[in-house]
Amino acid sequence: MIPYPIYRRRITQTASFLSQYKTGKPAQLQLSAFFKTHKQMGSKDRKSLRSMVYNWFRAGSSFEGDREHQIMMANALLDCDLHEELTTDLGLPSSWHAWSLKERSEHLQSTTNWQLDRVFPVELLSEKLDKEAICLHQFTQPLVWLTGPKPASIAERLAQKQIRYEENGSAVGVDQTVPLGDVLQGFQFQVQDLSSQKVLEAFSEKLSGDELIWDACAGSGGKTLKLLNLHSGLDIMASDVRPEILKSLHHRAKGMSRNVATAQIDLTKAANELRFESSDGYRTIKQNLFDVLVLDVPCTGSGTWNRNPEFVHSFDGIPPHLIALQEAIIDHSLPFLKPGGLLLYMTCSVFSAENEAQCDRMADKHQLDVIESGYHKGYQHQSDSMYYAIFKKP
């Protein structure tokens, strides 16, 4: 542990970093730029500054007082390895070190005017989620979850290298500090949060394995590739509004020796037909053709904010244009699903406006049958949270 005077200097340095921090940009990038201009900082100094910065994003801004006091309180609340001088300076009980996060948080709520629910916009949360658990979950970094065609071999490799890992079904989770590129060199794996994996695994049980699927917000193909890992016989076509991200999807699919037909499609616009390109040429798709539609729509990402706590800090309400974009994506993609076909709607949000409300609207407007819906709760599994709803088109 660094001597206390150095620890206090680090608090001042953290306050100085935060005063220059540009809201809305990833903290990780800004920390890297800061370290480049502070070359005298060694790896331990960087680690400690990074941890103080993240602790402030996780809890510090919910405390009153000046920035340095907020950083001290956040560290007192969240660090297990604490300087006794810090707890004494802050007037905290002598047994503080031995307390759990929940006990610390309860003590602060009963003895000060600090409130746990200030760490997250709980007023927007779905009623199906536990408010306290979501807030406490903001204080911990989830695991990085991996998937691939041979998950057992990934686990075996981690064990050989004496790296701690968790297994949950076929998913393997490791601490975010594990250098995956080095450790798993030569292995086929994708990083995909446990919640996405679980939603897709459960959904894939409803498939026979030879369906024609459209992944209409495919991004770099996380959902497409996971579905192909689960059912190699699926015929999946993938599109996104961003052509550059589709290159990344192609690259990843190639790593799995798969060829996925792709198209750049902007779903803010209606279309009568779609045109996908693959190595075999072009395929034109008419309306009412796909067996399955996967919509992993753009959202606030509030179910992932314990991974990136700086986004809670910059959050200023759900932008109305985001809700409108989700609606347009649903309305313009549904005509391509055939009658009797299945729609899987997903978000990594925990806000009811992006989930239950959006699904009620779509079921009503398009007369869809709701088969099931729910949350994969990240606070129960050291992962992100994800909402899903499965519909059948009549």
Ligand X SMILES: C[S@@+](CC[C@H](N)C(=O)[O-])C[C@H]1O[C@@H](n2cnc3c(N)ncnc32)[C@H](O)[C@@H]1O
Positions touching ligand X (CB under 6 A) are 217-223, 240-242, 245, 265-268, 296, 298, 325, 329
Q: Give the pairing of strands 337-347 and 386-392.
A: antiparallel
Distance CA 100, CA 210 (A): 50
CA distance 97 to 33: 34
As beta bridge partners, residue 125 has: 351
Q: Whose Cβ is closer to ligand X: residue 6's or residue 191's? A: 191
SS3 264: strand
Q: What are phi and psi for residue 4, nearest 5 degrees?
A: -60, -40
Q: How far is the CB of 271 from ligand X (least distance, A)?
A: 11
Nearer to ligand X, 62 or 220 (CB): 220
CA–CA distances in Å: residue 243 to residues 171, 220, 240: 29, 10, 7
How many secondary structure helices (H) and strands (E) does the chain include? 15, 13
CB of 75 to ligand X, least distance (A): 33
Q: How far is the CB of 214 from ligand X (least distance, A)?
A: 11
Residues 6+ apart with CB under 8 A from 104: 76, 77, 96
Measured between alpha carbons, how far is 139 from 339 in angstroms, rounded to an integer? 45
Question: What's the distance, CA 65 to chain centroid?
Answer: 31
Question: From the CB of 299, what's the least distance to ligand X, in Å?
Answer: 7
Is the Cβ of residue 116 or residue 386 nearer to ligand X in the bound state? 386
Nearer to ligand X, 219 or 309 (CB): 219
Shortest CB 73 distance to ligand X, Å: 34
Residue 278: beta bridge partners?
281
Nearer to ligand X, 326 or 352 (CB): 326
**Phi-psi label, residue 89: left if phi above 0, alpha if psi -120 to 50, beta otherwise:** alpha
Question: Least Å distance between CB 152 and ligand X?
Answer: 23
CB nearer to ligand X: give 101 or 245. 245
Q: Which residue has the tokens 């103080």?
A: 52
Nearer to ligand X among residue 55 and residue 193 (C-beta): 193
We find the least distance from the C-beta atom of residue 312 to ligand X, in angstroms, to be 18
